[in-house]
Amino acid sequence: MVTARVGSPAFRPMSETMNELLNRFPKARPALPPAIEAIYAAHYKRNREGATPASSLSRKMESWLHRQVAADLGSGLESGAGQGRTKTLEIGAGTLNQLLYEPDAGTYDIVEPFTELYEGSPLLARVRNVWADIREVPEQERYHRITSVATFEHLCNLPEVIARAGLLLEEDGVLRVSIPSEGTWLWTLGGKLTTGMEFRLKYGLDYGLLMRHEHVNDAWEIEALLRHFFGRVRSKVFGLSRRFSLYQFHACTLPHRQRCDEYLARLKTGASGDRDLMRAGSWIPRTRSPRRMRRGRLGWGQFAITRRCGCRFLHGRSPGVFPGRAPGRPGPVWPFAVRRPGRRYRQRPLVLGGSGCAPLPCC
């Protein structure tokens, strides 16, 4: 298996807007059947310890996740913080096994609700603060690094966790997240042929039911939310591409603090709706049809823009929103992609509330 760097956009259904994605949360975790619930605790502990052949193999392969998260400490912090004064917060620390991959380079705090996972660990001496929930972290705390290894796929309130992480970062801080490629055929097949087969032979039960209980988020959902709350996301995969991979890693910088604040305020007030998210949200196009795009039949809020440059030009499959105004034209302007036969997408601005098109100042 090879490691590949991949760029935006993430693989995702084209029929869903970011607002619809955010409205999925908080998710409800599917209940376990009684037969699996009876053996869940014992199986979980054995799996975390690598006590079975399949879980031992999984732990060896998952070392890629840990190494990617700790890679910035090996050659100078990506966030710009020097070693020796680094402040790190790990979300979902579990058994503290990430500390085996990281040098003792400064303050280390963790968020972990299950105390039985780390109690009695000799690595606990390296931890300054332990919180059961990221909501417990004081708002005045600031971290150079916030890390997470194989945790975001488990979180029912994932957008809230990412938004709070963005607010807890230093200006030059970085959120480093590694996840399994949940929702892809390769990850599903690998699970069925290893841990799933072992689980069925040992207990005679369907491992897929257990995974649906634990993994409530797909990899594309996680990446879409990271790109929504952060201005820059660098991605790598353990495989050939997102669809053909077992694991993914994302290094996120430049948090959209206003967007984070607005989402958390929205949770408090219970507000929702497309117009609220237009000021703070990203969008995913609802069509791939070149004919509809060429004739300008895409409706309000159905455009997507990349962040590859300052002008944030449009491309039919990329997330983002750029509200602006064209010179001498009424209403907001949205860069609009027109596809010609045999050619790439050509960027054209579409003026909403006015007639005709006008060039953007940066195009």
Per residue in 14-49, pLDDT (tens digit) is 445 788 899 999 999 999 889 988 888 777 767 666
- With tokens 């996740």, the residue in question is 65
When pLDDT is averaged across residues 113-133 and rounded to a whole number, the result is 92
The verdict on 83 and 115 lying in the same domain is yes
What is the spatial distance between Cα 92 and Cα 65, in angstroms, rounded to a whole number?
A: 14
Tokens of 130: 């332990």
Q: Is residue 15 part of a domain?
A: yes
Domain harbouring 134, CATH code: 3.40.50.150
The verdict on 140 and 105 lying in the same domain is yes
- Single out the residue in 216, 245, 269 at which a domain terminates: 269
**Number of domains into which the chain is organized:** 2
The verdict on 237 and 329 lying in the same domain is no
Top-confidence residue, 112 or 82? 112
Q: Omega into 323 within 30° of 0, i.e. cis? A: no
The domain of 342 spans: 285-363
The verdict on 257 and 335 lying in the same domain is no
Q: Is residue 277 part of a domain?
A: no
The verdict on 204 and 95 lying in the same domain is yes
Selection from 147, 134, 164 nearest residue 96 by Cα:
147
The verdict on 39 and 158 lying in the same domain is yes
Q: Express each pLDDT in 314-340 by its tens digit.
A: 333 333 333 333 333 333 434 444 333
Q: Is residue 274 part of a domain?
A: no
pLDDT at 312: 34
The verdict on 175 and 99 lying in the same domain is yes
When pLDDT is averaged across residues 113-123 and rounded to a whole number, the result is 89
Q: Omega into 9 within 30° of 0, i.e. cis? A: yes
Residues 6+ apart with CB under 8 A from 183: 218, 219, 220, 221
* pLDDT grade for 200, boundaries at 50, 70 and 90: confident
Please give the mean pLDDT across all residues of the chain. 74
When pLDDT is averaged across residues 217-233 and rounded to a whole number, the result is 95
When pLDDT is averaged across residues 114-124 and rounded to a whole number, the result is 89
What is the spatial distance between Cα 164 and Cα 155, in angstroms, rounded to a whole number?
A: 13
The CA radius of gyration of the chain, in Å to the nearest whole number, is 22
What is the spatial distance between Cα 176 and Cα 147, in angstroms, rounded to a whole number?
A: 5
Q: Is residue 197 part of a domain?
A: yes
The verdict on 203 and 302 lying in the same domain is no
Selection from 281, 274, 263 nearest residue 157 by Cα:
263
pTM: 0.70
The verdict on 33 and 147 lying in the same domain is yes
Q: Is residue 201 part of a domain?
A: yes
- Single out the residue in 269, 296, 321 at which a domain terminates: 269
Report the 10 Å Cβ neighbour count for 279: 11
